Amino acid sequence: MTDSVKFSRRQAGIAFITGAALAAGLLAAPSARAQSDYPNQPITVIVPFAPGGASDFAARLLQPRLSEILGQQIVVENRDGAAGNVGMDIAARAKPDGYTLFLGNVGTVSINPFIFSSLRVKPLQDFIPVSIVADTPGLMIANPAFPPNNVKELVEYVKARPGQVNFASPGTGSVNRLEMEAFRREAGLDMIHVPYKGGAGPAAADVMGGHVSLMFVTISSGINHVKGGRLKALGVTTKQRVAQLPDVPTMTEQGYPKSVSSSWQGILVPAGTPEPIVNKLHAAVVEAMKDQKIRDRMAESGVIAVSSASPAEFKAYIAADAAKWGAIIKEIGAKAD
């Protein structure tokens, strides 16, 4: 991984030296001065997943416009490993000066703290949320030959066959698994969980091949298979129907209002970052998310471009999201150590 990483590290090194020199010279100067000319050096966005995934996609889409608004180069650095915990740990321990941003998502920030008890990072204490950027609804997909065509039929079908219907997921602690767990608790269904590894691809392939009946996927990984007729969609986890799949009813419409969830991505900064910088970043992210090109690009794959009204609103959003998933994880007893 290296060209981009080395490059950014070297830059960080240079930045550190100039920063140190500046700090020595301006020791007595009020810190507000350093903040008022923020940003005066390149900003790194740490993505805790490999290139090519949903988080990387969001970061790369945001990169050019955010760079334009802030007048500084934005460097995207992929630090993947341990379900995103490696990158999150690096970001949490970065200097809180506004030059290291973290592209957090539902998995790292809301779910992992409940799954990995050895996780050192406490997202809501170690980070200051800036703004959400992408909202990716969950889509309940099934093999076209699976008899139920909507959630109502599904509930009847499963109730008549307790413990006989299998559902797949991209992993034990994945949001897609938890979405199904939440739904089946609400509906009182007995189904068997079949976990997969390596993203939604292998699991979706087995649903397509008819080996497993149904699963939740992010709308971006399911939308084309649904449009191409390879899979059918039973419901979507948004409050209103999604423009790209107007015929797919929401879970709420079908009587399951608790099944509203999202695989979101958002920008966070390490705790201790000065408030003026957080506010400046927030304004910049909100501005960037207004960009029509970004909105269109996201919409193509069913992702909704969003931003938070204030950092506090994003914080409240994360707190509610984490509380919801935390409760479900406790109920099903999923643990990674």
Q: Check: CB of residue 302 under 8 Å from CB of residue 134.
A: no
- Give the residue with the Cβ less far from other proteins, 159 or 161: 161
Whole-number minimum distance, CB 190 to other proteins, in Å?
Answer: 12
Among 19, 51, 144, 276, binds other proteins (CB under 8 A): 51
Distance CA 270, CA 123 (A): 9
Q: Check: CB of residue 215 under 8 Å from CB of residue 207.
A: yes
DSSP 87-144: HHHHHHTS-SSSSEEEEEEIIIIIIHHHH-TT----HHHHEEEEEEEEEEEEEEEE-T
Contacts of 100 (CB under 8 A, 6+ apart): 43, 44, 46, 91, 94, 269, 270
**Rg of the Cα trace of the chain?**
21
Q: Check: CB of residue 139 under 8 Å from CB of residue 319.
A: no
97 contacts other proteins (rule: CB under 8 A): no
Distance CA 86, CA 82 (A): 6
- CB under 8 A: which stretch of 35-43, 81-89, 144-152, 277-285 binds other proteins? 81-89
- CB under 8 A: which stretch of 102-110, 183-191, 194-202, 260-268 binds other proteins? 194-202
Among 25, 30, 209, 246, binds other proteins (CB under 8 A): 209
201 contacts other proteins (rule: CB under 8 A): yes
User: Which residues ranging from 116 to 175 are in contact with other proteins (CB under 8 A)?
Assistant: 118, 163-164, 166, 171-173
Among 142, 212, 245, 277, binds other proteins (CB under 8 A): 212
2 contacts other proteins (rule: CB under 8 A): yes
Site residues (vs other proteins, CB under 8 A): 1-5, 50-53, 56-57, 60, 76, 78-83, 85-86, 115, 118, 163-164, 166, 171-173, 192-199, 201-202, 204-206, 208-209, 211-212, 220, 223-225, 227-230, 297, 300-301, 334-337
